[in-house]
Structures are given as C-alpha cells and as structure tokens.
C-alpha cells in the first residue's frame, strides 16, 4: 500500500468518522437534553432511538427544496457548501493516533503534518465565516443578514482571543505543528497544567466560534427567528446544522490535542509503536474528544444565552486582556 493510497483512504476515513461522530452528536445532544430536562428523548427509531439521526437525515433529504425567488441562487447554494467544506477541512491537521509502523513503513494517522498546523486551523476556521455570510446575505432576508453579520463579527472577535491564547501555548511548546505539540505531552505532562488560563480562554472562544450556546446569537430563535439559516430548508439546512456538529467535534479534538495530550495517556505513551499503541492512542483521543463533546452539550443545556453586547464585551474587554496577560505571564515563566 503506497503512501498516497493510504493517505486517500485515511482522509476518506476521517471524513467518514467526522460525519459519523457529528451524526451521533445530534443523537447525544437530544438524549442528554432529554436527560437534563427529565424526558426520554428520541426512542422510536431503532433501539434507544439509535437510528434517529439516520431518520432525520432521510427526512431532510426528502424535504422540499425551496429557494426564495429574490435570493441570489448561486450564492444561496454556495453558502452551506462553503460552510460544510471548511468544517470538514479542519480535521486535516489533527493527529488522531500515534504513527502506525507496519513492515518498516510508517503510516501517519494524520492527513497532513503541516509544520504550521495551528495556523492552518486558524485559517480554515476563519473561512467558516464565509459560509455563514454568503448564505445569510444570499437569502435576501433581514434576519438572515443580521444573523450572518452577528456570526461574522462574533467569529472575528473571538478569533483574536483564541489566537492570543494559542500564542502562549506555542511559546511553551515552541512548535506550530500539532503533531509536535501532542508528542510533547506524553504521560501526564499535558499542556493544561502549564496553560490553565489559556485553556479557559480557548474553550470559551471555542464555544463562540462554533456558535454554540451560550453564544448562539447568530441563530437566536427569539430574536432572529433562525438567524442566517432562516430561509434554508431541506439538506441545505441540514448542511448548516451538520457542519455545526462537525465544528463541535473538531473543536473537541483540537482542545484534546492542544491541552489534554491528544492520544497521549499514561501507560499508552510508554508502549512501543505498533498497532496496539495506535489503537489505544486513538481510543484515548476519542475518549477525550467525547468528553469535550459532552461538555459542549452539557453547557448548551445548562447556561442561558448571552446578550449580544455582553458577548462583545466579554470578547473584547475580558478575554483579550486576559489572553495578553497570559502571554506576558508565560513569557515571564519562560524567561525564568
């Protein structure tokens, strides 16, 4: 199996896993929400309602394809597509498991080991805004446009604090490659120990970047009906919703890799490279990711939504100064 073939297979697999995880995140979300609200949740399709996501997908596919007459057709279709693409592109630099060595060839469990992986993450995440902006604007609807503009300004604002929190992380690890960063955190020496404040800032920003509650103002139903996807129906809406869950998954994976050691875990780190280690490492990685997904859902159903000015104040007046402070403290520690 040549490297290229493996790469292609791996990328397809990652896409599949992403979609699968996202699919079942919706299920988990509904189940958990039901649990938190003392309900049963979906339980008809399949055992425990496990087939519910499939049913939803089928439903979305068969819904009427509706494109408003006054909208910009091409962009109206391009919007969700861009959003989905950018969401899926993110996973390219995430190392999902330790390298696998079979018969002397090394198979990297990572689509692309960019030496500027974090920057790539950033670039692609910032592109996600286009999907929302284009879709929201193309709808030719006041609420959609407002939602889109909210989303864009929210993303841009929180990107700054996020970037600054990562700057201090990079200062500690002195590498921009995600693989390097994960490799450095063998055993228990996770970055969360060195960067607690950075982690806090990052996770808050991650919530805002994924437009999840308590920062889901762009799609705030009470104010903007449905925000940027008000006019969307059928699978285009499905793409928007789905991409959001992919964002959740990727964010969780990134959080796990950056601050919680990724596939690193005591005992697992000490294993010799091989199939066992790769499998165990992958398991560890997905366990941590699952924990963060759970955290995302938990918080969504626990905390009330912010007001828009509160959101902006938090971003510009609290998180950014805190992140700068964090950079300074980190620099101080590095100097000492």
Partner 1 sequence: MDKIFYILAALTLIAAFMVVISRHPIRSVLFLVATFFLISAQYILLNAQFLALVNIIVYAGAIMVLFLFVIMFLNLSRDLERFASWMPIAAAGISVGGIGLLLLASYRGAQISTDTVGNYDSGLVEQIGEVLYRDYLFPMEVCSVLFLVAMIGIVLLNRKERELPAKLPLP
Q: Applying CB under 8 A, which part among 55-63, 70-78, 222-230, 321-329 lies near partner 1?
A: 70-78
Site for partner 1 contains 122 (CB under 8 A): yes
* Tokens linked to 194: 């060195």
Site for partner 1 contains 312 (CB under 8 A): no
Buried b (16+ CB within 10 A) or exposed e, 283-300: ebbbebbbebbebbbeeb
> What backbone phi and psi angles, to 5 degrees, belong to 330?
-60, -45
Site for partner 1 contains 311 (CB under 8 A): no
SS3 content of the chain, % helix, strand, coil (to 5): 70, 0, 25
Can you tell me the distance from the alpha carbon of 165 to that of 170, in angstroms, rounded to the nearest whole number?
9
Residue with tokens 């960019």: 114
User: E strands, 111-233, where?
Assistant: none
Tell me if residue 263 falls in helix, strand or coil: coil
> How many chain residues bind partner 1 (CB under 8 A)?
25
Site for partner 1 contains 75 (CB under 8 A): yes
Site for partner 1 contains 129 (CB under 8 A): yes
Q: Applying CB under 8 A, which part among 2-10, 44-52, 111-119, 230-238 lies near partner 1?
A: 111-119
Site for partner 1 contains 182 (CB under 8 A): no
Q: How far is the CB of 43 from partner 1 (least distance, A)?
A: 43
Q: Please name the residues in contact with 333: beta carbons below 8 A apart, sequence gap of 6 or more.
A: none
| Residue of 224, 232, 227, 225 whose CA lies nearest to 67 | 232
Site string for partner 1, 162-181 (x = CB under 8 A): --------------x-----
Contacts of partner 1 in 193-252 (CB under 8 A): none
Interacting residue ranges for partner 1, rule: CB under 8 A: 72, 75, 78, 114-116, 119-120, 122-123, 126-127, 129-130, 133-134, 137, 145, 148-149, 152-153, 156, 159, 176
């Amino acid at each position: 199996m040549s490297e290229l073939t493996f790469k292609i297979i791996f990328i397809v697999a990652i896409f599949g896993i992403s979609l699968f995880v996202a699919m079942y995140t919706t299920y988990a979300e509904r189940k958990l929400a039901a649990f938190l609200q003392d309900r049963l949740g979906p339980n008809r399709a399949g055992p425990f309602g496990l087939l519910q996501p499939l049913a939803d997908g089928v439903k979305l596919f068969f819904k009427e394809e509706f494109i408003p007459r006054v909208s910009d057709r091409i962009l109206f279709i391009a919007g969700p597509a861009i959003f989905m693409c950018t969401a899926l592109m993110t996973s390219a630099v995430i190392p999902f498991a330790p390298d696998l060595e079979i018969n002397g060839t090394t198979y990297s469990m990572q689509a692309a080991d960019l030496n500027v992986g974090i920057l790539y993450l950033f670039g692609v995440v910032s592109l996600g805004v286009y999907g929302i902006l284009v879709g929201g604007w193309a709808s030719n609807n006041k609420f959609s446009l407002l939602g889109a503009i909210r989303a864009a300004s929210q993303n841009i604002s929180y990107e700054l604090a996020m970037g600054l929190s990562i700057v201090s992380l990079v200062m500690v690890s002195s590498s921009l490659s995600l693989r390097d960063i994960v490799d450095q955190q063998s055993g228990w020496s996770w970055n969360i120990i060195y960067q607690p404040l950075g982690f806090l800032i990052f996770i808050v920003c991650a919530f805002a970047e994924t437009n999840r509650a308590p920062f889901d103002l762009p799609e705030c139903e009470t104010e903007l009906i449905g925000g940027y996807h008000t006019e969307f129906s059928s699978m285009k809406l499905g793409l928007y919703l789905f991409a959001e869950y992919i964002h959740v998954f990727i964010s969780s994976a990134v959080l796990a890799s950056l601050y919680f050691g990724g596939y690193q875990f005591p005992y697992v780190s000490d294993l010799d490279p091989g199939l066992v280690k790769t499998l165990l490492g992958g398991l560890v990685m997905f366990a941590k990711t699952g924990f963060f997904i759970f955290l995302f859902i938990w918080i969504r159903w626990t905390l009330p939504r912010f007001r828009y000015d509160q959101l902006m104040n938090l971003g510009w007046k609290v998180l950014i100064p805190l992140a700068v402070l964090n950079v300074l403290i980190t620099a101080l520690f590095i100097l000492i």
